[in-house]
Amino acid sequence: MNITHLSKLAQEQGKKRADQIVFRHRDDESKKWIPTTWNEFSQKVRSLAKALAAFGIKEHDRVATYTQNKPEGLIADFAAYENRVVVVPLYATSSIEQVVYILNDSQSRILFVGEQFQYNNAYEAKKKSSTLEKIVIFDDTVILKPEDKDSVFLKDFIKTGQTPENEAIVEKRISESSFADMANLIYTSGTTGEPKGVILNHSNYRFAFEAHKKRLDIVEDDTSMCFLPLAHVFERTWTYFCFGQNIRVEINLRPQEVQQALKETTPSLLCAVPRFWEKVYTAIIDKQSRTKGVLRMLMDNAIETGRKYNLGYRVKGLKAPLGLSLKYKFYDKLVLSKIRFVAGLSRAHFFPCAGAALSQNICEFLHSIGIEIYYGYGLTETTATVGFFKKVGMDFKTMGVPLDGVTVKIGENNEFLVKGDNVMQGYYNKPEETAKAFTEDGWFRTGDAGYLTKEGGLVFTERIKDLFKTVNGKYIAPQALETRLGESTFIEQIAVIGDQRKYVTALIVPAYDVLKEFAKEHHIEYSDIKDLLKNQSIVDLFSRQIAELQSEFAAYEQVKKFTLLNNPFSMETGEMTNTLKIKRSVVNQKYADVIDSMYE
């Protein structure tokens, strides 16, 4: 299969598909979606590539991007690749300390930044960086520090390189590009210890593109929403794949506006983490519970019909009985399509999902209403994907089956061990960490525990480092319990506690809006959210929810006590990583008094 090198992709597509739209982005002022053609994109990429050459960037140097999802970020990526330069993506929410660490560890020379927040942090970080020479700013409205004489806006930086000599340098570098070149240093989120720079070569991406092309059923009019941060290996790999497969990409700038963006663009594809789909599920279930009379009967019947048709036949590749097919067609047009429309998914094709555990119940429900989730498993170190659902033969107990060319076996402590050309080259500047990440015979240690079904399906049980043991010697897998309890429409976030404790407890962040509606319907008076969470009726509500959802777990695994929190976990307050994983050590430390009180 012929996969184009990323250094050549923009120019090749610019020639082949000049007037085809490569992506659209939403203009903040006009609120309109602005298209960019392949011809425009390739020209912008080449102009920036020449400016990088004029600056003195050498082959295999590092440049970093510190921005939200913006067209300019993708232009910077491909301009770097045309110079055989390594791109180091940073999350737009990264702190000054995180920026300094990554810049120094990667030895990045240029930092591209998005908006005011990123510029302000970058300016302070530059003072502490031993390698950063230039800050290049995407947003023209950014206000520079009065004393800043070095930073430059992207449009002005580009002007510096438009000569035939720089064109020749770039062309020569492209001609010498190799799949053995390093493409990215993507830093892990650092749930434990300092972040590690994962080395991904162009060969890793080539393998990922080939494997996904074999597995996926792409159609001509597919479009994809770029929603997850492009600093995340999942979205980065997927968006690059879309570019190579001629899938138009809708670039969502602000994550909090994604629902509006979905309604305006109606993409057929979307990469998302389970939390996104948990919120979709919660909204639908909440709507269902509030619907009364004939409409409720229609909704219930539609969802049940969808379950029988989709789970009983479609996902198994079987032909449904004529009566069921006609009934489903009726309910899909009358009810289910309306549900998908409200969610902005009226053109739903399929939706890759990974990054954390997804409840089997939620996954099955979404498939029942015609939202095909391709749930999968992978890590930054495996270029996003180890495996995911096939279109036919889905086993909802699993995370799908490995990609062709990827081998998974079970090692000590039931750890998933992986081999394949998707596996990273190692951790940058960390030979000892790299050595620890591989077995003596070359298998990558994922750090995740699970097992394989007879059909080769991947079943995740727990992050090995997250396993804890009570004082009674019982091992607890917190993520399994958190995933199950997270199905409650009243629970937004949850952290299960119990390491070296007598029993299991939980810190719960309620879904505040849903809870306020409940209080309104049940005439519960309160002065503020803190007061509401102390109300015995609310406490009893959560007790019932927890008891019902955890009934399938062993007695020693079940939550015995819980505390409702009036503030959510977040990246800004330190409890969440950039990839929305809980930092358990931070939670345990920050809420030590609250946790201790549950064991008094």
Query: What's the rounded Cα separation, in Å, for the pair 360 and 373?
Result: 11
Give start and end residues of each alpha helix (H) in 256-332: 258-265, 274-290, 293-306, 312, 322-331
Model pLDDT, residue 271: 96
Return left, alpha or beta for 405; rule: phi > 0 is left, psi -120 to 50 is alpha, else beta. Answer: left
Say if residues 383 and 208 touch (Cβ distance below 8 Å): yes
Query: What's the rounded Cα separation, in Å, for the pair 198 and 58?
Result: 21
Range(s) for CATH 3.30.300.30 in the chain?
467-597
CATH topology of domain 6-177+216-265: Rossmann fold (3.40.50)
Q: Average pLDDT of the chain?
A: 95
Torsion from C-alpha of 240, 244, 33, 284, nearest 10 degrees: -70
pTM confidence score: 0.91
Strand partners, 445: 417
Query: What's the rounded Cα separation, in Å, for the pair 236 and 90?
Result: 12
The model's pLDDT over 114-158, given as tens digits with 9 standing for 90+, comes to: 999 999 999 999 999 999 999 999 999 999 999 999 999 999 999
Say if residues 223 and 249 touch (Cβ distance below 8 Å): yes
Range(s) for CATH 3.40.50.12780 in the chain?
6-177+216-265
Model pLDDT, residue 191: 56
User: From edge to edge, which strands make up the β-sheet containing 504-510?
Assistant: 491-497, 504-510, 559-564
Burial (CB < 10 A; 0-12, 13-18, 19+), residue 298, is middle
Query: What's the rounded Cα separation, in Å, for the pair 45 and 85?
Result: 13
pLDDT band, residue 192 (cuts 50/70/90)? low
Rg (CA), the chain: 25
Mean pLDDT (whole number) for 276-294:
92
Q: Could you tell me which residues come within 8 angstroms of residue 74 by beta carbon, excluding any fewer than 6 positions away?
A: 23, 41, 230, 239, 251
440 pLDDT more than 60: yes
The model's pLDDT over 62-110, given as tens digits with 9 standing for 90+, comes to: 999 999 999 999 999 999 999 999 999 999 999 999 999 999 999 999 9
Model pLDDT, residue 36: 98
Q: What are phi and psi of 504, to 5 degrees?
A: -90, 135
48 pLDDT more than 60: yes
Model pLDDT, residue 190: 61
| Token code pair at residue 24 | 């659209």
Half-sphere exposure of 587 (CA within 13 A, CB side): 28
Query: What's the rounded Cα separation, in Å, for the pair 488 and 361?
Result: 11
Classify 520 as helix, strand or coil. Answer: helix
CATH topology of domain 467-597: GMP Synthetase; Chain A, domain 3 (3.30.300)
Residue whose tokens read 């972040």: 195
Q: Indicate the angle between helix axes 274-290 and 512-521, nearest 10 degrees.
A: 10
